[in-house]
Amino acid sequence: MGGALSPLGNTGPSVQEWIQLICNGVSAMLDRDGYRPNVAIVIVNGKNQVFWGKRIREHSWQFPQGGINPGETPEQAMYRELREEVGLESRHVKILGRTRDWLRYEVPQHWIKREWRGSYRGQKQIWYLLRLTGRDNDVSLRATDKPEFDAWRWHEYWIPLESVIDFKREVYRRALLELERYMHAKPHTRRERLFGFAHPMTPPSYSDPVTPTGD
Protein backbone atom coordinates (compact mmCIF):
# COMPACT_ATOMS: atom_id res chain seq x y z
CA MET A 1 0.00 0.00 0.00
CA GLY A 2 1.22 3.47 -0.78
CA GLY A 3 2.30 5.77 1.98
CA ALA A 4 2.18 9.53 2.17
CA LEU A 5 3.60 11.59 5.00
CA SER A 6 2.81 15.09 3.77
CA PRO A 7 -0.37 16.91 2.72
CA LEU A 8 -1.17 17.66 -0.89
CA GLY A 9 0.84 20.56 -2.26
CA ASN A 10 1.15 22.25 -5.62
CA THR A 11 1.58 19.65 -8.29
CA GLY A 12 4.31 20.00 -10.85
CA PRO A 13 8.01 20.28 -11.44
CA SER A 14 10.24 22.57 -9.45
CA VAL A 15 11.90 25.57 -11.07
CA GLN A 16 15.21 23.72 -10.80
CA GLU A 17 13.77 20.76 -12.73
CA TRP A 18 12.64 22.95 -15.59
CA ILE A 19 16.05 24.63 -15.75
CA GLN A 20 17.70 21.21 -15.92
CA LEU A 21 15.21 20.08 -18.56
CA ILE A 22 16.00 23.00 -20.80
CA CYS A 23 19.76 22.63 -20.30
CA ASN A 24 19.79 18.95 -21.22
CA GLY A 25 19.34 19.40 -24.95
CA VAL A 26 15.57 19.44 -24.95
CA SER A 27 15.62 21.60 -28.08
CA ALA A 28 16.46 18.51 -30.13
CA MET A 29 13.10 17.00 -29.13
CA LEU A 30 10.86 20.01 -29.64
CA ASP A 31 8.20 20.05 -32.32
CA ARG A 32 7.94 22.95 -34.76
CA ASP A 33 5.72 24.86 -32.31
CA GLY A 34 8.16 24.54 -29.41
CA TYR A 35 6.48 21.73 -27.44
CA ARG A 36 8.27 18.70 -26.06
CA PRO A 37 6.42 15.37 -26.66
CA ASN A 38 5.52 13.73 -23.36
CA VAL A 39 3.34 11.02 -21.83
CA ALA A 40 1.35 11.13 -18.59
CA ILE A 41 0.10 8.02 -16.78
CA VAL A 42 -3.01 7.58 -14.64
CA ILE A 43 -3.01 4.22 -12.81
CA VAL A 44 -6.27 3.09 -11.21
CA ASN A 45 -6.84 0.27 -8.74
CA GLY A 46 -9.93 -1.92 -8.32
CA LYS A 47 -11.70 0.90 -6.45
CA ASN A 48 -11.00 3.34 -9.29
CA GLN A 49 -8.63 5.30 -7.10
CA VAL A 50 -5.57 6.78 -8.78
CA PHE A 51 -1.86 6.51 -8.05
CA TRP A 52 -0.73 9.88 -6.69
CA GLY A 53 3.03 10.30 -6.29
CA LYS A 54 4.96 12.72 -4.07
CA ARG A 55 7.94 14.20 -5.88
CA ILE A 56 11.18 13.34 -4.18
CA ARG A 57 12.21 15.84 -1.48
CA GLU A 58 9.28 18.13 -2.38
CA HIS A 59 5.79 18.74 -1.03
CA SER A 60 4.25 18.39 -4.47
CA TRP A 61 2.22 15.55 -5.94
CA GLN A 62 1.54 14.44 -9.48
CA PHE A 63 0.90 11.58 -11.89
CA PRO A 64 3.89 9.81 -13.44
CA GLN A 65 5.00 11.51 -16.64
CA GLY A 66 8.05 11.85 -18.86
CA GLY A 67 9.41 12.78 -22.25
CA ILE A 68 9.16 10.69 -25.40
CA ASN A 69 12.63 9.88 -26.70
CA PRO A 70 13.50 10.10 -30.39
CA GLY A 71 12.33 6.92 -32.16
CA GLU A 72 9.84 5.97 -29.41
CA THR A 73 6.10 5.69 -29.84
CA PRO A 74 3.95 7.19 -27.07
CA GLU A 75 3.08 3.68 -25.87
CA GLN A 76 6.72 2.63 -25.72
CA ALA A 77 7.55 5.78 -23.79
CA MET A 78 4.64 5.12 -21.42
CA TYR A 79 5.89 1.64 -20.54
CA ARG A 80 9.45 2.92 -20.07
CA GLU A 81 8.33 5.74 -17.78
CA LEU A 82 6.05 3.34 -15.90
CA ARG A 83 9.02 1.08 -15.21
CA GLU A 84 11.44 3.89 -14.35
CA GLU A 85 9.14 5.96 -12.12
CA VAL A 86 6.84 3.37 -10.55
CA GLY A 87 8.68 0.06 -11.03
CA LEU A 88 5.75 -1.58 -12.82
CA GLU A 89 6.09 -3.74 -15.93
CA SER A 90 3.55 -4.26 -18.68
CA ARG A 91 2.42 -7.50 -17.00
CA HIS A 92 1.27 -5.52 -13.97
CA VAL A 93 -1.16 -3.26 -15.84
CA LYS A 94 -3.80 -3.17 -18.55
CA ILE A 95 -4.32 -0.21 -20.87
CA LEU A 96 -7.92 1.01 -20.54
CA GLY A 97 -7.63 4.00 -22.84
CA ARG A 98 -5.67 7.07 -23.87
CA THR A 99 -6.39 10.61 -24.92
CA ARG A 100 -7.13 10.85 -28.62
CA ASP A 101 -5.10 14.00 -29.26
CA TRP A 102 -2.14 15.80 -27.76
CA LEU A 103 -2.91 17.98 -24.75
CA ARG A 104 -0.63 21.01 -24.48
CA TYR A 105 0.40 23.34 -21.70
CA GLU A 106 2.74 26.31 -21.82
CA VAL A 107 5.38 26.91 -19.19
CA PRO A 108 5.53 30.51 -17.88
CA GLN A 109 8.41 32.43 -19.39
CA HIS A 110 10.04 33.17 -16.04
CA TRP A 111 10.46 29.40 -15.53
CA ILE A 112 12.50 29.09 -18.74
CA LYS A 113 16.15 30.03 -19.12
CA ARG A 114 16.49 33.28 -21.03
CA GLU A 115 18.41 31.75 -23.96
CA TRP A 116 15.58 29.27 -24.64
CA ARG A 117 12.73 31.76 -24.51
CA GLY A 118 11.08 31.98 -27.88
CA SER A 119 11.92 28.38 -28.84
CA TYR A 120 10.70 26.27 -25.89
CA ARG A 121 7.01 26.79 -25.05
CA GLY A 122 6.01 23.77 -22.97
CA GLN A 123 4.87 20.17 -23.27
CA LYS A 124 2.37 18.26 -25.36
CA GLN A 125 1.11 15.05 -23.78
CA ILE A 126 -0.66 11.83 -24.55
CA TRP A 127 -2.35 10.59 -21.38
CA TYR A 128 -2.84 6.87 -20.65
CA LEU A 129 -5.31 5.27 -18.24
CA LEU A 130 -4.04 1.97 -16.84
CA ARG A 131 -5.69 -0.61 -14.62
CA LEU A 132 -3.34 -2.10 -12.02
CA THR A 133 -3.72 -5.87 -12.42
CA GLY A 134 -0.83 -6.63 -10.09
CA ARG A 135 -0.58 -5.88 -6.38
CA ASP A 136 0.22 -2.71 -4.50
CA ASN A 137 3.57 -4.15 -3.44
CA ASP A 138 4.58 -4.50 -7.09
CA VAL A 139 5.07 -0.72 -7.03
CA SER A 140 8.70 0.23 -6.51
CA LEU A 141 9.76 3.86 -6.29
CA ARG A 142 13.44 2.84 -6.32
CA ALA A 143 13.50 1.08 -9.67
CA THR A 144 16.29 3.39 -10.86
CA ASP A 145 19.11 5.30 -9.20
CA LYS A 146 17.28 8.58 -9.96
CA PRO A 147 13.82 8.15 -8.44
CA GLU A 148 11.05 10.65 -9.19
CA PHE A 149 8.89 9.94 -6.11
CA ASP A 150 9.61 9.20 -2.46
CA ALA A 151 6.02 8.37 -1.38
CA TRP A 152 2.68 7.57 -2.95
CA ARG A 153 -0.97 7.03 -2.07
CA TRP A 154 -4.25 6.01 -3.62
CA HIS A 155 -6.39 9.09 -4.18
CA GLU A 156 -9.95 9.57 -5.35
CA TYR A 157 -10.15 9.86 -9.14
CA TRP A 158 -11.08 13.54 -9.29
CA ILE A 159 -7.87 15.17 -8.12
CA PRO A 160 -8.59 18.63 -6.63
CA LEU A 161 -7.50 20.98 -9.38
CA GLU A 162 -6.38 23.56 -6.86
CA SER A 163 -3.63 21.10 -5.85
CA VAL A 164 -2.24 21.21 -9.40
CA ILE A 165 0.15 23.96 -10.42
CA ASP A 166 -1.88 26.56 -12.31
CA PHE A 167 -0.43 26.20 -15.81
CA LYS A 168 -1.12 22.43 -15.82
CA ARG A 169 -4.66 22.51 -14.40
CA GLU A 170 -6.49 22.69 -17.72
CA VAL A 171 -4.57 19.69 -19.08
CA TYR A 172 -5.37 17.68 -15.93
CA ARG A 173 -9.03 18.68 -16.19
CA ARG A 174 -9.33 17.73 -19.85
CA ALA A 175 -7.39 14.48 -19.48
CA LEU A 176 -9.35 13.16 -16.49
CA LEU A 177 -12.66 14.10 -18.11
CA GLU A 178 -11.73 12.27 -21.31
CA LEU A 179 -10.31 9.17 -19.61
CA GLU A 180 -13.00 8.66 -16.95
CA ARG A 181 -15.38 6.85 -19.31
CA TYR A 182 -12.82 4.09 -19.95
CA MET A 183 -12.99 2.95 -16.32
CA HIS A 184 -16.59 1.89 -16.88
CA ALA A 185 -16.35 0.27 -20.31
CA LYS A 186 -16.56 -3.22 -18.79
CA PRO A 187 -17.62 -4.52 -15.36
CA HIS A 188 -14.56 -4.91 -13.16
CA THR A 189 -16.07 -6.65 -10.12
CA ARG A 190 -18.96 -9.03 -9.43
CA ARG A 191 -20.88 -6.19 -7.81
CA GLU A 192 -20.54 -4.06 -10.96
CA ARG A 193 -21.76 -6.97 -13.10
CA LEU A 194 -24.81 -7.36 -10.88
CA PHE A 195 -25.67 -3.77 -9.97
CA GLY A 196 -23.89 -1.59 -12.51
CA PHE A 197 -21.36 1.16 -11.98
CA ALA A 198 -21.18 3.76 -9.25
CA HIS A 199 -19.89 6.77 -11.17
CA PRO A 200 -18.15 9.34 -8.99
CA MET A 201 -19.77 12.75 -9.21
CA THR A 202 -17.74 15.16 -11.30
CA PRO A 203 -16.68 18.11 -9.11
CA PRO A 204 -17.91 21.56 -10.17
CA SER A 205 -14.30 22.65 -10.70
CA TYR A 206 -14.12 20.29 -13.69
CA SER A 207 -17.09 21.87 -15.44
CA ASP A 208 -15.43 24.98 -16.87
CA PRO A 209 -12.08 25.45 -18.63
CA VAL A 210 -9.26 26.66 -16.43
CA THR A 211 -7.49 29.84 -17.51
CA PRO A 212 -3.85 30.05 -16.38
CA THR A 213 -3.04 33.07 -14.26
CA GLY A 214 -0.22 34.02 -16.64
CA ASP A 215 3.46 34.72 -16.15
DSSP per residue, 163-197 = GB-GGGHHHHHHHHHHHGGGGGSS--SHHHHHH--
The CATH class given to the 15-206 domain equals: alpha beta
Q: Which among 9-18, 26-35, 97-106, 188-197 has the top mean pLDDT? A: 97-106
Q: How many CB atoms lie within 10 A of CB 99?
A: 19
| Cα–Cα distance, 155 to 44 (Å, whole number) | 9
Give the burial class of 129: count Cβ atoms within 10 A of its Cβ; 0-12 exposed, 13-18 middle, 19 or more buried: buried
| Cα–Cα distance, 2 to 8 (Å, whole number) | 14
Beta strands in 110-177 (DSSP E): 122-132, 149-155
pLDDT at residue number 29: 83
pLDDT band (50, 70, 90) for residue 18: very low
pLDDT digits (tens, 9 = 90+) for 113-149: 777 777 889 999 999 999 999 999 999 999 999 999 9
pLDDT digits (tens, 9 = 90+) for 45-65: 999 999 999 999 888 899 999
